[in-house]
Amino acid sequence: MSWISKQPWLGNARIETWFILLPPLAPLVLLFFFQSYFATANNVSTIWLLVLVLGIDVSHVYSTTFRFYWEPSLLKKYRTHLVIIPIAALAIGTVLHFIDALFFWRILAYMAVFHFVRQQYGFMRLYARQETQNRLNKTIDMASIYAATLYPLLYWHIHRTSDLSWFIAGDFFDLSFIAPISVGLAVVYLLILTIYVAKEAAISIKSHQFNVPKNLVMLGTYASWYVGIITAKGDLTFTLMNVVAHGIPYMALVWLYGHREKKVFSLTIPWRQIGVFIGCLLLLAYLEETLWDILIWKDHPNIFPFFQGLPRPSAWVVSILVPLLSLPQITHYVIDGFIWKSPVANNKP
């Protein structure tokens, strides 16, 4: 038990293990035992939409808001940002969508990708914060975590833009014209991974210590991004690997941030408090998705049966509604991009 407590936990070893370190790996168990199902179930069904999109993806967006309610001083300090960012996002988004809807979704997709990539780097750095490595070893860590995400993304741009999309079809640029360098990219990817493994092995042998959380973050990132993008048979596998690996750890980090004043190492999980937290997020997520469905998509009346008789809005109204309904996402991406870089980052759990 002592070796567990000596790991660089952020505050609660059990919560971090179950909700930060295992989510990127857990879907692999489903994929292994239900291979035939995931090989044929290419689309996200109603039940998967409820679990993955509404239950995790949209919910995790709203967890950003909770950070500011839990920290009144943070809300006061960044009040100007919290007002300006949504207003600017709505104005810019409306103009972009009015000019070209695909252009709007493409920009939003790349904002999301940047956010997803940076989260993995952030988790790796959090669990490496107590390590006394030289600059070379830190560079190897950085190269490895970025290789774990960027190589699958490049593979997607080169080989899979026709059968995978982030938000809507065609939102990623087609880079199939650079397909001749695919083998070279794969070699670099494997080389970086090999160097990282060798470095970690050498450090562990020399110091008789092994950073379990950091290496589980690294393993989970490599596994979820490679399987979710490169070997995925369809949109369901990608969504499962992508959403679970990103959304659940993010919500767990927000939860830990909200309890950062509790400095005592803990192995218990406050299920009742977590239940209230998740319940609030689910309610907000359902309300947002209801608006999306009755105003824009109109493709899941069985989940959102309200006001389905409303006519489809005109094109110019859609150019206002889509950026407006996207504000939680956009604000989440932008705020998350600068808030961890601010002095408050030093007060992370």
Query: 0.95 exceeded by the pTM?
Result: no
Centre a 10 Å sphere on the Cβ of residue 8 and count the other Cβ atoms it contains: 14
Mean pLDDT, residues 327-333 taken together: 92
Q: How confident is the model at residue 125 (pLDDT cuts 50, 70, 90)?
A: very high
Inform me whether the pLDDT recorded for 40 exceeds 90: no
* % pLDDT > 90, the chain: 67
Please determine, for residue 145, whether its predicted confidence score (pLDDT) is greater than 60. yes
pLDDT score for 338? 63
Identify the DSSP state of 181.
G
Cβ contact 249:57 at 8 Å:
no
Please give the residue that has the higher pLDDT: either 304 or 107.
107
- At residue 204 the predicted structure's pLDDT band, cuts being 50, 70 and 90, is very high
Rounded percentage of the chain residues whose pLDDT exceeds 70: 90
Instruction: Bin 11: left if φ > 0, else alpha if -120 < ψ < 50, else beta.
Output: left
| pLDDT of res. 341 | 55
Q: What does the pLDDT look like over 231-276, one tens digit per residue?
A: 988 889 999 999 999 999 999 988 887 766 444 445 456 777 778 8
Q: Where are the domains of the chain?
A: 2-347
Average pLDDT for 114-134: 94
Per-residue pLDDT band for 347 (boundaries 50, 70, 90) equals very low
Query: Within a 13 Å sphere around the CA of 246, how many CA atoms are in the beta-carbon half?
Result: 26
Give the pLDDT band of residue 26 (cuts 50, 70, 90): very high
- Phi first, then psi, for residue 170 (nearest 5°) are 85, 10
pLDDT score recorded for residue 43 = 81
Q: What is the pLDDT of residue 83?
A: 85
Q: Is the pLDDT of residue 346 over 60?
A: no
pLDDT, residue 45, reads: 87
Section 58-76 average pLDDT: 77
Average pLDDT over residues 217-228: 98
- pLDDT, mean over the chain: 89
Note the pLDDT of residue 77.
80
Name the DSSP letter for residue 337.
H
